[in-house]
Amino acid sequence: MEAHWYKPRECYRVWVPARLSENGKRCRRFFETKAEAEKFILQVKRRGSVQLADLSIEEMHILGVIRQSENYEPNLLLEAWRRFESEARSNVADFTVQQLAEKISGSADSRAPLRPDSCRR
């Protein structure tokens, strides 16, 4: 991706390839300055395309269950994963992702623990 001057509109144009676009189709974006266009390019390259990632059926069900929670926030899920990875690297404790999420939220839920196979229909 590169920012090019687009004379008909007198602005900079960036073509976003299908693999990085939000809808899976090639698209273009227009910017008043080259700096804005380059900032956009860096953001797109940095985030990649999470929407187009291949997820297994179990992963989709687990994420669906998590998103239905009234306390769901993407940052909380990301923080739980980062803490899980840091705990795993330091070998301080053998936490599961669920135990770590409970630790972050402050209290363990009285429900039975979720297992990936319990999310199947």
Does the pTM surpass 0.85? The reply is no
Considering the domain architecture, whether residues 62 and 106 belong to the same structural domain is answered as yes
What's the mean pLDDT when you consider all of the chain? 76
In a domain, 101, yes or no: yes
Can you say how many angstroms the Cα of residue 35 is from the centroid of all Cα atoms in its chain? Answer: 25
Considering the domain architecture, whether residues 62 and 109 belong to the same structural domain is answered as yes
Integer angstrom CA distances of residue 10 from 6, 13, 32, 44, 81: 6, 9, 8, 23, 45
Considering the domain architecture, whether residues 108 and 73 belong to the same structural domain is answered as yes
The tokens describing 76, both together, are: 């909380």
What is the pLDDT averaged over residues 66-91? 77
What pLDDT score was predicted for residue 100? Answer: 65
Considering the domain architecture, whether residues 31 and 71 belong to the same structural domain is answered as no
Distance between CA atoms of residues 3 and 42, nearest Å:
11
Distance between CA atoms of residues 6 and 3, nearest Å:
9
Considering the domain architecture, whether residues 31 and 72 belong to the same structural domain is answered as no
Is 90 exceeded by the pLDDT of residue 34?
Answer: yes
Report which of residues 111 and 18 the model is more confident about: 18
Q: How many domains does the chain have?
A: 2
Integer angstrom CA distances of residue 95 from 22, 99, 100, 113: 35, 6, 6, 13
What pLDDT score was predicted for residue 29? Answer: 92
Distance between CA atoms of residues 23 and 29, nearest Å:
14
Look up the domain containing 21 and give its range: 3-47
In a domain, 36, yes or no: yes
In a domain, 52, yes or no: no
What is the pLDDT averaged over residues 55-65? 77
CB 65 within 8 A of CB 97: no
